[in-house]
Amino acid sequence: MILSMKWLSDFVDCEDIEIKDYCDRMTDTGSKVESYTLLGSEIENVRVGRIVKIERHPDAERLVVCQVDCGEKTLQVITAATNVFEGAYVPVCYCPQDEKRISKLATGAQIKSGKLRGLISEGMFCSIEELGLTTHDMPGAATDGILILNDTVPCKSGDDIVDVLMMRDRAVEFEITPNRPDCLSVIGLARESAASFGRELKIPSPTVTEAGDDVRNYIDIEIKDTEKCFRYSARVIKNVKIAPSPLWMRMRLRASGVRPINNIVDITNYVMLEYGQPMHAFDYKCLDGKHIEVRTAGEKETFLTLDGQSRELDADMLVIADGKKPVGIAGVMGGANSEITEDTATVVFESAMFLGSSVRVTAKKLGMRTDASSRFEKGLDTENTVPALERACELVTLLGAGEVVSGMIDIYPEKKQTATVPFEPEKINRFLGIHLSAEKMTEILESLHFAVRDGQVYVPSYRDDVRCMNDVAEEVVRIYGYNEIESGSIVAAMTQGGLTDRQKFTDDVHGLLCGFGLDEIYTYSFMSAKLYDKAGLAPDDARRRSVEILNPFGEDSKTMRTTAIPSMLETLEINCNKGAEKAALYEMARVFLPRENVVTNIHGLAGTLPDERIKIMIGLYGTGDFYRLKGMCEAIFRYAGAEVKFTRETSNPTFHPGRCAVVTSADGMRLGILGELHPTVVRNYTFAAPVCLAELDMENLFAVSDRKKTYHPLPKFPSVTRDFSFVCEEQVTVGEIEDAMRASGVSLIENIVFFDVYRGAQLGAGKKSVSFSVSLRSADHTLTVEEADRAAAKILRGVERALGITIRQ
């Protein structure tokens, strides 16, 4: 909402207040000011001049030399304009040769005196464009010549053009919150201004000059849907003379950001801005059957709106119709079929009240938010339709735009009840933590036009937002001053703050990952489904079934991810493309898995929310290999105290079939997958070095973590270490040998550490040697050499029995 301060002064006198102070105080009392503009200040030193004499320029065919009477001085101005004449009053940049004046124009241009083809020119004549105006603001003005002021506005030589054209104003732009539609009007903001500055508010009642005849001879009106239309007030104007509205009205509309059109349309806009009540004007001759009804549209009924667009309506939409056809979409836009035109002779003014949510849904469905609809949808004051209508008729007479037919039609099936709220000053003080007397509160509420009596607060009809004690408290404190509230400290029961075990564990894992040298990334949770292909997911992969956004920006951001791998790959690729030689990244990424079964919720809401899980996503590019990645994963599991098992995975198409493992817990719960990116998948990206990825499930990791750690006594007796090197076929895995050693039945085994794999000619093709260091320890004595030897022999027998392999001789 842009407020013209000149317009405001019709209702409350704030002219003497510095604009900055005005804006600050209004913001402090709840009408937030976005910005303000000093209108007319962009133009400097432009005056009215009367052209006294025009002569041809001796040295230029297209130029003329004008002598211009500018009041105190007569200037010589050279121009190429062709629409000037002797006796013309024109805007002239006032730059006398003997003064060092500079003129500034709305275009940003700066003018000073200078020579044109040898002759001095002490200024320049201005077009409307140079004054920042259009032909809407100055109807009939030349678009390709100088603005001629004769017969346009009264003026005399030497007048400041900004004042002559009534352009000087202060425009304040407010951000009005949706609960205060009453403030989307000059009068609404005048009420706020009066209360904020303690000034007198004067809202004159409009006086309508009726010209006889009877409105009932012209039209009858019926509200067929009283659920969606609460009130419909109308008057008829006859002998209409369509013309431009006067300069003062055009300039107020312009200052408010509205384009002037003609007197009738301008009156409807002017009243909307002043009273906050959207109005509509129909051309009476286009209404069939002297009848207006408010009804819902027929299904698939089409309708051409004022903006020239054909609209398809449905049975939920409210329309204004005549005897035969719709002539307007209620509260949204009128129809082209009843538009005010140059030859309109009789006009019906509509001032009505429609159900906000209905207007909102209609406007949304039709994709046409208008100034009117955005007001209606917030809920307007039903009591305001008649004053607004009367004001419009008053303006008709004032502007000489037509004659007001006697009588008004006002269909108002159910008078609106105004709200009352108990007046509880003590409770308000306690709630806000302030100490105001009941008298002071009453004074504040009354300044906002609430009535306070008999322990009740009577809410004005335009303040539907005030319904309970909290609302009244806000009214009091916003005028008293939010910053007058003293800061307190909560006096209440102790609360046990802090993190849960799960949250602490997550923090610890973050610490580990950063300790590995990984940088944390944040990526979008939605993505393109094409990234599933790019990351190599099989066509029948269950993870392709994703939660999808109904109204995404586009296909690229429609799919809620079910795996964090695509986001990681994209991020690695971005870094690679930017020239990073390496990147080691991780994300605690939330994924969204659609649920197979319907899960009910306590409110019986329809639909089931997806299973949201956190994935620990690690990505390495140009740094480290499978084993580095595996080392990180092992460290996480070791920290969590979880026994896990790595098993080779050959059938996940994202990963290299020979360099991929799944991790499971001791009882078989799947914890994640890790491996090197499949060479075919690598080709979908621009990577120049191998990429390794791990995706671990945070919830499952937490589930298997050991959170009840207890002390085990430290060993009292020394351990004995024996090294073994087994020679085996290539396909035998280190894991299998280790398992076989553990399964050999030697209870003294404390730890088995793999330390080398060796391949060489002397072993023969397809063979390798795998070395382990085994520590043996007894809890109750120092092992003898014989005991250690026996244990070692038993381990060897066990491995030989299980795998048929033996140590390197």
Partner 1 sequence: MKELLESIRKKAMEEIAQSEDPEALRIRYLGKKGELTAVLRGMGSVPPEERPVIGALANDIREQIEAALAAKAEEKKEKELAHKLEAEALDVTIPGTACAVGRRHPLAQTENMLRDIFIGMGFSVAEGPEVEYDYYNFEALNLPKNHPARDTQDTFYITDNILLRSQTSPVQVRTMEVQKPPIRVISPGRVYRADPADATHSPIFHQVEGLVVDKGITMGDLKGILELFAKRMFGKETKIRFRPHHFPFTEPSAEVDVSCFVCGGKGCRLCKGEGWIEILGAGMVHPFVLSNCGIDPEVYSGFAFGMGIERIAMTRLGIDDMRLLYENDVRFLHQF
Helix (H) or strand (E) holding 196: helix 186-197
433 counts as binding partner 1 under rule CB under 8 A = yes
Of these, 420, 557, 719, 775, which contacts partner 1 (CB under 8 A)? Answer: 557
Question: Whose structure tokens read 């944040």?
Answer: 522
Amino acid at site 659: R
Radius of gyration of the chain (CA): 42
Site residues for partner 1, 640-669, by CB under 8 A, read none
Residue 81 to residue 90: CA distance in whole angstroms: 12
- Asked if residue 612 binds partner 1 (CB under 8 A), the reply is yes
Residues 366-425 that bind partner 1 (CB under 8 A): 374, 377-378
Instruction: Kindly state the smallest distance separating residue 84's Cβ from partner 1, in Å.
Output: 45
Instruction: Find the shortest distance in angstroms from Cβ 601 to partner 1.
Output: 7
Q: Which is nearer to partner 1, 410 or 474 (CB)?
A: 474
> How far apart are CB 355 and partner 1 at their closest, in Å?
10
Contact criterion met (CB below 8 Å) for 365 and 359: no
Q: With respect to partner 1, which residue has the nearer C-beta, 335 or 379?
A: 379
Smallest distance, partner 1 to C-beta of residue 624, A: 10
Q: Which of residues 55-94 bind partner 1 (CB under 8 A)?
A: none
Distance of alpha carbon 353 from alpha carbon 569, whole angstroms: 56
601 forms part of the interface with partner 1 (CB under 8 A): yes
Looking at beta carbons only, is 360 or 768 nearer to partner 1? 360
Q: Residue 259 CA to chain centroid, in angstroms?
A: 27
Residue choice 485, 703, 743, 753 for contact with partner 1 (CB under 8 A): 485
Q: Do residues 441 and 417 touch, judged by C-beta distance below 8 A?
A: no
Q: Shortest gap between Cβ of 532 and partner 1 (angstroms)?
A: 18
Query: Which of the stretches 23-31, 384-392, 728-736, 774-782 binds partner 1 when contact is defined by CB under 8 A?
Result: 23-31
Q: Of the ranges 52-60, 137-145, 489-497, 536-544, which one interacts with partner 1 (CB under 8 A)?
A: 489-497
Of 300, 453, 578, 781, which lies in the binding site for partner 1, with binding defined by CB under 8 A? 578
Query: Is residue 169 a contact partner of residue 6, using CB atoms and an 8 Å limit?
Result: yes
- Judged by CB under 8 A, the residue of 310, 483, 747, 809 near partner 1 is 483
Q: How far apart are CA 225 and CA 319, in angstroms?
A: 10
Output the smallest distance, CB 23 to partner 1, in A. 12
Report which of 268, 475, 273, 464 is spatially closest to residue 380, judged by C-alpha positions: 464
d(CA 243, CA 263): 6
Question: Distance between CA atoms of 409 and 632, rounded to whole angstroms?
Answer: 81
DSSP for 726-785, please give it.
EEEETTS-HHHHHHHHHTT--TTEEEEEEEEEE--GGG-TTEEEEEEEEEE--SSSPPPH
Cβ of residue 375: shortest distance to partner 1, in angstroms?
10
703 binds partner 1 (CB under 8 A): no
In the bound state with partner 1, the residue whose beta carbon lies nearer, of 463 and 768, is 463
Residues 6 or more apart whose CB falls under 8 angstroms from that of 535 comprise 563, 565, 566, 569, 654, 681, 684
Report the first-to-last Cα separation within the chain, whole angstroms.
Answer: 93
Degrees, nearest 5: CA angle 256-3-132: 40
Q: Tell which positions 318-377 bind partner 1, by CB under 8 A.
A: 356-357, 360-361, 374, 377
**Least Å from the CB of residue 496 to partner 1:** 7
Structure tokens that stand for 690 in this block? 């191998």
Of residues 501-520, which lie at the interface with partner 1 (CB under 8 A)?
Answer: 503, 510, 513-520
- Which positions from 171 through 190 interact with partner 1, judged by CB under 8 A? 177-180
**Segment interacting with partner 1 (CB under 8 A) among 344-352, 416-424, 438-446, 606-614:** 606-614
Name which of residues 758 to 787 contact partner 1 (CB under 8 A): none
Measured from the CB of residue 634, what is the shortest distance to partner 1 in angstroms? 17
Q: How many residues are given for the chain?
A: 809
Residue 710 Cβ vs partner 1, minimum distance, rounded to whole Å: 27
Q: According to CB under 8 A, which one of 80, 542, 580, 688 is a site residue for partner 1?
A: 580
Q: Which is nearer to partner 1, 433 or 745 (CB)?
A: 433
Question: Angle 177-330-390 (CA atoms, 0-180°, nearest 5)?
Answer: 80
574 binds partner 1 (CB under 8 A): yes
**DSSP structure string for 433-450:** T----HHHHHHHHHHTT-
Q: Which is nearer to partner 1, 259 or 582 (CB)?
A: 582
Least separation in angstroms between CB 622 and partner 1:
11
User: If binding is defined by CB under 8 A, does position 569 make contact with partner 1?
Assistant: no
User: Which span (418-426, 439-447, 580-588, 734-742) binds partner 1, by CB under 8 A?
Assistant: 580-588
Residues 6 or more apart in contact with residue 307 via CB below 8 angstroms: 333, 368
What secondary structure letter does DSSP report for 653?
T
> What gap in Å lies between CA 244 and CA 296, rounded to an integer?
35
List binders of partner 1 among 529-548 (CB under 8 A): 547-548
Smallest gap from Cβ 359 to partner 1, in A, equals: 10
User: Of 603, 599, 640, nearest to 508 (Cα)?
Assistant: 640
Q: Judged by CB under 8 A, how many residues of this single chain contact partner 1?
A: 92
Residues 6+ apart with CB under 8 A from 17: 197
**Which CB atom, from 603 or from 712, has the smaller least distance to partner 1?**
603
- Report the nearest approach of partner 1 to the CB of residue 301 (Å): 22
Element (H, E) at 532: helix 530-534
Q: Is 30 in the site for partner 1 (CB under 8 A)?
A: yes
Binding mask 110-139 for partner 1 (x = CB under 8 A): ------------------------------
Least CB distance to partner 1 at residue 557 (A): 7
